[in-house]
């Protein structure tokens, strides 16, 4: 495992090159360019704000709903981009997989880095929204690297596993579109999942719910603490990443034939 990590680190420049290529291709002929990284969560935030703050009256614990929704949507967009783009990373680059030698993890990792680039751009609007709603930042911002690391562990694990599965079964990328939509509504993206009651179990079996809650608690609430459910999500994400990477390495030899 350590040797595999060292090999990937030797190809870190290739990871960055492929990630930047993916970003350039994605926005090359777009009028808004990088603005789409903000436009997507912003437009969804406006729609959900109109529905949940006026019609459904979602209780956000005193946090302005627009800010509550935007933080959740930006964090979810990072997760969705990592999983969706990571799942297609091997199949979309089959010419590289079959003709050039490099650690195949480079391709899913490039998808992770490109998703991080979009996330960084979209997150800039969070500060503006906090200033608009007069929500000051707090000490909880110190936990942002920890929360981001856990989310990246989970997303990278899924990217590795699904990229290999998508070579075996091309149905995976289509099933994933439906799965991610259902997963979004089973997570606390645009409404809180109650800590007690019939739906409380979602915070323990769905790792994205405590991760999203941790983002809001740290960024909006300024709390310098993490929930027990987040601790469970952290352990699961780390174990899942190790297991996915080992399985990826085990089946890597067949990628040339499947691509």
Q: pTM to 2 decimals?
A: 0.93
Residue 70 confidence class, pLDDT cut points 50, 70, 90: very high
Residue 148 confidence class, pLDDT cut points 50, 70, 90: very high
Nearest residue to 18 (alpha-carbon basis) of 80, 90, 75, 83: 90
pLDDT of residue 258: 57
pLDDT of residue 259: 53
Alpha-carbon distance of 205 to 182, in angstroms, equals 15
The sign of the dihedral angle between the CA atoms of 5, 6, 10, 12 is positive
Q: Which residue has the higher pLDDT, 108 or 39?
A: 108
* Distances 45 to 23, 38, 73, 79, 201 between C-alpha atoms, Å: 23, 11, 7, 17, 26
State the angle between helix axes of 65-88 and 144-168 in degrees (0 to 180), rounded to the nearest 10: 40
Residue 168 confidence class, pLDDT cut points 50, 70, 90: confident
DSSP string, 32-50: STTHHHHHHHHHHHHHHHH
Residues 217-257: tens digit of each pLDDT: 999 988 889 999 999 999 999 999 999 999 998 988 777 66
| Encoded tokens for 142 | 């110190």
Q: Specify the 3-state DSSP secondary structure of 200.
A: coil
Expressed in percent and rounded to 5, the helix, strand and coil fractions of the chain are: 75, 0, 25
Residue 35 confidence class, pLDDT cut points 50, 70, 90: confident
pLDDT of residue 256: 64
DSSP string, 136-198: ---GGGGGHHHHHHHHHHHHHHHHHHHHHHHHH-TTHHHHHHHHHHHHHHTTTSSSPPPSSST
Of the listed ranges 57-61, 163-167, 231-235, the least confidently predicted one is 57-61
């Amino acid at each position: 495992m350590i040797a595999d990590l060292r090999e990937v680190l030797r190809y870190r420049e290739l990871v960055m090159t492929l990630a930047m290529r993916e970003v350039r291709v994605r926005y090359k002929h777009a009028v808004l360019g990088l603005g789409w990284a903000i436009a997507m969560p912003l437009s969804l935030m406006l729609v959900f704000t109109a529905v949940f703050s006026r019609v459904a009256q979602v209780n956000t614990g005193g946090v302005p709903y627009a800010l509550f929704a935007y933080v959740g949507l930006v964090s979810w967009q990072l997760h969705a981009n990592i999983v969706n783009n990571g799942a297609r990373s091997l199949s979309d680059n089959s010419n590289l997989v079959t003709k050039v030698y490099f650690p195949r993890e480079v391709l899913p990792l490039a998808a992770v880095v490109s998703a991080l680039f979009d996330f960084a751009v979209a997150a800039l609007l969070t500060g503006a929204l906090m200033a608009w709603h007069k929500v000051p930042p707090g000490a909880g911002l110190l936990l942002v690297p920890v929360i981001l690391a856990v989310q990246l562990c989970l997303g990278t694990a899924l990217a590795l596993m699904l990229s290999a599965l998508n070579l075996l079964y091309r149905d995976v990328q289509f099933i994933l579109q439906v799965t991610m939509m259902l997963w979004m509504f089973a997570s606390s993206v645009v409404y809180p999942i109650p800590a007690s009651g019939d739906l409380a179990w979602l915070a323990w079996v769905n790792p994205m719910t405590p991760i999203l809650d941790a983002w809001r608690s740290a960024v909006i609430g300024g709390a310098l603490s993490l929930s027990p459910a987040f601790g469970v999500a952290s352990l699961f994400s780390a174990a899942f990443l190790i297991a996915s990477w080992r399985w990826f390495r085990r089946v890597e030899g067949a990628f040339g034939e499947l691509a």
